[in-house]
A and B are shown apart, each in its own frame.
Chain A
Amino acid sequence: EVQLAESGGGLVQPGGSLRLSCAASGFTFGAYPMHWVRQAPGEGLVWVSRVSHDAAHTNYAGSVKGRFTVSRDNAKNTLYLQLNSLRAEDTAVYYCVKDSGNYGVDYWGQGTLVTVSS
């Protein structure tokens, strides 16, 4: 059974930093690209970032490019998202999402809440 467990969320002041983690199990983690998707309170889903299976390639939404960094450690079956220069509009639940391997995503974690407020 595929399991994705995010951690690292919390309350941070504007301009601050946070590092999210996602522990994966139940599939060959190193064989799949992985994604982060966020959802602001009461709002819809927004794709944030992607990292290739071997971490050689990364992609970002324009709203986070230059501030967020996605990475992975295949030996530890763990995905990361470094959030820097945080803004109030970054407040959201951040989901770790598995790539389907065919131009889609399939399994989601339960999410971790990031709140940016003074």
Chain B
Amino acid sequence: QSALTQPRSVSGSPGQSVTISCTGTSGDVGGYNYVSWFQQRPGIAPKLMIYDVTQRPSGVPDRFSGSKSGNTASLTISGLQSEDEADYYCCSYASSDTTFLFGTGTKVTVL
């Protein structure tokens, strides 16, 4: 199975909002409410930001929110801050065999 499709990059000024899309199929994103989002800064392990499409782990700012429509999930960062500059990856449960699919990754740049 192929990776989920994300835009290569998005950018915004401090205080603005950016949205990252994650497109899959009915066999993964569209078929399950088990989409997660991870933030990865250079040289650092990924950090869970959103799980189960919309849920935030404790400690994650409420500037981060998730949603899903059909086969596309989205991560929105509101009130963009310089520390939000990182790579972001979506991840979806796919099936009992494949288990998980990751997105292609999106680089968020704060202008």
> What residues of chain A have their CB less than 8 Å away from a CB belonging to chain B?
35, 37, 44-47, 50, 59, 61, 95, 100, 102-111
A45–B3 CA distance with the chains assembled, in angstroms: 9
Instruction: Please judge, given known A-B contacts A44-B3, A45-B46, whether A104 and B101 are in contact too, CB under 8 Å.
Output: no
Residues in chain B near residue A50, CB distance under 8 A: 99-100
Instruction: Please judge, given known A-B contacts A44-B3, A45-B46, whether A103 and B93 are in contact too, CB under 8 Å.
Output: yes
A7–B38 CA distance with the chains assembled, in angstroms: 23
Instruction: Please judge, given known A-B contacts A103-B34, A104-B91, A105-B36, whether A47 and B102 are in contact too, CB under 8 Å.
Output: yes
Q: Assess the B34–A104 pair: CB atoms within 8 A.
A: yes
Q: How many residues of B contact A (CB 8 A)?
A: 27
> What residues of chain B have their CB less than 8 Å away from a CB belonging to chain A?
3, 32, 34, 36, 38, 40, 44-48, 51-52, 57, 89, 91, 93, 96-105
Q: Assess the B46–A106 pair: CB atoms within 8 A.
A: no
Majority SS of interface residues in chain A?
A: strand
Q: Assess the B99–A59 pair: CB atoms within 8 A.
A: yes
Q: Assess the A45–B99 pair: CB atoms within 8 A.
A: no
Instruction: Please judge, given known A-B contacts A44-B89, A45-B105, whether A106 and B100 are in contact too, CB under 8 Å.
Output: no
Residues in chain A near residue B52, CB distance under 8 A: 102, 104
Q: Assess the A105–B89 pair: CB atoms within 8 A.
A: no
Partner of B45, one of A35, A59, A108: A108
Partner of B36, one of A37, A59, A104: A104
A44–B102 CA distance with the chains assembled, in angstroms: 8
A110–B41 CA distance with the chains assembled, in angstroms: 12
B37 to chain A, nearest CB (A): 11
Partner of A103, one of B32, B101, B102: B32
